[in-house]
């Protein structure tokens, strides 16, 4: 079984001015919806628009303007559908769990089909888990998702036109990748089952483990548990270390902003812009910046009067439990795969 590219290879950038332009691009893509909705007194819409802009930017994988546009539009659609479905059925006994587990399974199933499609499915699953857990129930949220995603696409195409396309390893046409995904080529069903089981444990073990926000544990499983970790557990541990580091970093930035919403939105934007560069340099750095953005945007943007310490301690527990499940699931999937290969060789 072949393995997908490590994240630093998938998101690598050409030398010269490209990294600076990429930072400016993500800052513009995320900052406009984040700051715009925050200043308009709509922090929940700011979260929806800003997060979609960041994840849509990470879906920008392709070797031509047409393929990049297709991947980003697919990513926006997956985030919108996942978030709306999660928000609508979140709290419905049984349905929300099925949605999250199914989306995690599908993301893991297609993770080796084509790089762009793998990223799209991955962040679609993230949006589903976030929708189930956050329960925004804001009439502006869906519009903010669309606006943030399309604005991110516009900024990306403009920067691509001005500075040239960023290099990409997604040399396979997305249609061929989709056919491979539907046919189960290189799917590695053991890994997909392990991801689904880990996500299920994060959901159903929430009460016994005393988790304050189970969806954060599930998000951690989906974000951290990646197929390449079956060969190099060090990569999975790097992803987890970066995720854990982002939480106290977000707390320090909240204090630096004095709890002021517009300053928190600005710092969250800078964290999001740094995440794309971080992915290219070292995945742990990218995960730290992404988690900083998510904690600032999802949680701390709405903390105005009370200090964030109880919230952050709870989030550290949630992420630690999700990370432990992700590491255990990765080890299980790797051992399961190796035993299967050994049996096939003896046969």
What pLDDT is recorded for position 330? 86
What pLDDT is recorded for position 266? 93
Beta-strand (E) ranges in the chain? none
What pLDDT is recorded for position 147? 95
Nearest to 317 by CA among 205, 190, 161: 205
Q: Burial level of 16, CB count in 10 A (0-12/13-18/19+)?
A: exposed
Nearest to 68 by CA among 7, 119, 12, 15: 119
- Integer Cα distance of 341 and 232 in angstroms: 17
Cβ neighbours of residue 140 closer than 8 Å, sequence gap 6 or more: 37, 42, 44, 45, 48
Nearest to 71 by CA among 124, 30, 22: 124
- Alpha helix (H) ranges present in the chain? 7-10, 18-39, 43-58, 65-89, 95-109, 115-134, 141-163, 174-183, 189-204, 206-209, 214-224, 233-256, 261-281, 283-294, 309-346
Rama region for 137: left / alpha / beta (φ>0; ψ in -120 to 50; rest) = left
pTM: 0.83
What pLDDT is recorded for position 50? 92
What average pLDDT score do residues 36-63 get? 88
Q: Which range among 27-36, 213-222, 239-248, 289-298 has the greatest average pLDDT?
A: 27-36
What pLDDT is recorded for position 305? 42
What pLDDT is recorded for position 27? 93
How many CB atoms are closer than 10 A to CB 210?
Answer: 11
What pLDDT is recorded for position 294? 87
How many Cα atoms are found within 13 Å in the side-chain-facing hemisphere of 214?
A: 20
Give the model's confidence band at 318: pLDDT under 50 very low, under 70 low, under 90 confident, else very high: confident
Mean pLDDT check: name the lowest of 43-52, 140-149, 332-341.
Answer: 332-341
Greater model confidence, 238 or 207: 238
Give the model's confidence band at 99: pLDDT under 50 very low, under 70 low, under 90 confident, else very high: confident
Give the model's confidence band at 171: pLDDT under 50 very low, under 70 low, under 90 confident, else very high: low
């Amino acid at each position: 079984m072949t393995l997908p590219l490590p994240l630093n290879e998938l998101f690598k950038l050409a030398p010269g001015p490209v990294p600076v332009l990429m930072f400016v691009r993500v800052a513009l893509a995320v900052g406009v919806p984040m700051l715009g909705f925050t200043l308009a007194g709509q922090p929940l819409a700011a979260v929806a628009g800003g997060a979609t802009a960041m994840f849509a930017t990470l879906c920008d994988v392709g070797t031509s303007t047409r393929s990049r546009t297709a991947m980003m539009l697919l990513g926006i659609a997956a985030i919108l559908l996942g978030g709306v479905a999660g928000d609508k059925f979140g709290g419905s006994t049984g349905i929300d769990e099925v949605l999250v587990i199914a989306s995690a399974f599908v993301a893991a199933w297609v993770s080796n089909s084509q790089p762009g499609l793998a990223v799209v499915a991955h962040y679609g699953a993230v949006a589903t888990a976030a929708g189930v857990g956050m329960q925004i129930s804001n009439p502006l949220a869906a519009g903010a998702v669309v606006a943030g995603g399309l604005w991110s696409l516009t900024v990306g195409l403009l920067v691509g036109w001005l500075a040239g396309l960023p290099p990409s390893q997604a040399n396979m046409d997305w249609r061929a990748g989709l056919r491979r995904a539907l046919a189960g080529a290189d799917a590695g069903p053991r890994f997909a089952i392990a991801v689904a089981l880990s996500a299920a444990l994060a959901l159903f073990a929430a009460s016994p483990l005393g988790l304050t926000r189970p969806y954060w544990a599930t998000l951690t499983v989906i974000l951290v548990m990646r197929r390449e970790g079956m060969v190099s557990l060090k990569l999975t541990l790097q992803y987890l270390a970066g995720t854990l580091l982002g939480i106290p970093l977000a707390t320090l930035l909240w204090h630096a902003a004095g709890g002021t919403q517009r300053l928190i939105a600005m710092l969250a934007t800078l964290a999001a812009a740094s995440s794309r560069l971080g992915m290219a340099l070292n995945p742990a750095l990218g995960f730290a910046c992404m988690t900083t953005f998510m904690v600032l945007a999802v949680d701390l943007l709405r903390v105005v009067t009370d200090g964030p310490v109880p919230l952050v301690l709870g989030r550290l527990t949630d992420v630690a439990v999700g990370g432990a499940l992700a590491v255990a699931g990765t080890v299980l999937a790797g051992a399961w795969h190796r035993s299967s290969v050994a049996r096939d060789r003896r046969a």
